[in-house]
């Protein structure tokens, strides 16, 4: 299997069970990544791990240096990327604790450094982004989820919003009309930058709360933290199985 990089989101700032070989500090043309890249063994294979929000968890979604993160992973030897994302559930199937391997996304973010192709270019470059997630890598995640007996969806549309605030009821209603099933704040430009670097990329999303208006009460951080605590064990088991099955 290609050297897999795991980008850990909220709730996954450390990869428990990683047998650490080294912490790699990578200088990039785009500044510093969120944290050192941890190289080690996980699930019997070499992996790279990067905490998207830093360690400790301190960088909000709109201030993550996505370009530095992806560039650093590529420089460290990553050949494929699995991103772990905590999300809100829009579709009725996406209850707290549900796992989703999205097949498509809609980008609602703004003002983020979203491409490597800018500045003093020799020519304008456009990437094909029709299908933002690598299908082979998606299928590996799906097979692992099935083998683990998880409650999951093999398809879904990820809405990437700006954050760091959560969305309004009206905004979620709009996202639902647009066809979104889950909502998060870090799916873009991460996926597009991986494509620009020709890194196969897939997302493993853990639903940690119903989106605004999808439950009778307000969304509390206590509920989100509990869902993260309950769900990240499943996420780690799935990642280990992906590596073992490769």
pLDDT at 189 over 80: yes
Q: Is 161 annotated as a binding residue?
A: no
User: What kind and span of H or E run contains 192?
Assistant: helix 190-196
Integer Cα distance of 191 and 77 in angstroms: 18
**Helix 221-245 × helix 135-148 angle, to 10°:** 100
Mean pLDDT to the nearest integer, 173-202? 98
pLDDT digits (tens, 9 = 90+) for 39-64: 888 877 888 999 999 887 789 999 99
Q: Is 85 annotated as a binding residue?
A: no
Assigned CATH topology for domain 4-245: Rossmann fold (3.40.50)
Integer Cα distance of 49 and 76 in angstroms: 10
Q: Is 211 annotated as a binding residue?
A: yes
Q: Is 114 annotated as a binding residue?
A: no
What's the pLDDT at 142? 97
What's the pLDDT at 221? 76
pLDDT at 82 over 80: yes
pLDDT at 136 over 70: yes
Q: Is 13 annotated as a binding residue?
A: no
What's the pLDDT at 29? 94
Q: Is 80 annotated as a binding residue?
A: no
Q: Is 186 annotated as a binding residue?
A: yes
pLDDT at 13 over 70: no
For residues 95 and 158, the answer to whether their CB atoms sit within 8 Å is no
Q: Which of 81, 116, 47 is nearest to 187 (CA)?
A: 81
Which DSSP symbol is given to 92?
A: T
pLDDT classification of 11: cutoffs 50, 70, 90: low
What's the pLDDT at 206? 94
Q: Is 115 annotated as a binding residue?
A: no
pLDDT digits (tens, 9 = 90+) for 105-131: 999 999 999 998 887 777 788 899 999
What's the pLDDT at 18? 72
């Amino acid at each position: 299997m290609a050297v897999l990089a795991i980008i850990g989101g909220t709730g996954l700032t450390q990869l428990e069970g990683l047998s650490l070989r080294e912490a790699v500090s990578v200088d990039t043309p785009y500044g510093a990544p969120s944290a050192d890249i941890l190289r080690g063994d996980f699930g019997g294979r070499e992996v790279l791990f990067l905490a998207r929000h830093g360690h400790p968890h301190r960088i909000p979604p709109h201030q993550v240096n996505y370009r530095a993160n992806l560039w650093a992973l590529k420089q460290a030897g990553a050949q494929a990327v699995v991103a772990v994302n905590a999300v809100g559930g829009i579709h009725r199937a996406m209850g707290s604790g549900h796992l989703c391997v999205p097949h498509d996304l809609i980008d609602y973010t703004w003002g983020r450094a979203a491409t490597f192709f800018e500045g003093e270019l020799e020519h304008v470059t456009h990437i094909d982004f029709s299908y933002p997630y690598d299908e082979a890598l998606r299928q590996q995640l799906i097979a692992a989820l099935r083998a683990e007996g998880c409650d999951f969806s093999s398809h879904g549309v990820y809405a990437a919003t700006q954050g760091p605030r959560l969305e309004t009821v009206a905004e979620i209603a709009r996202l639902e009309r647009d066809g979104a099933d889950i909502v998060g704040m870090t799916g873009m430009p991460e996926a597009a930058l991986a494509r620009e670097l020709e890194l196969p990329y897939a997302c493993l999303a853990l639903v940690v709360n119903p989106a605004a208006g999808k439950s009778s009460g307000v969304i509390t951080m206590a509920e989100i933290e509990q869902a993260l605590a309950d769900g990240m064990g499943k996420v780690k088991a799935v990642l280990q199985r992906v590596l073992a099955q490769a």
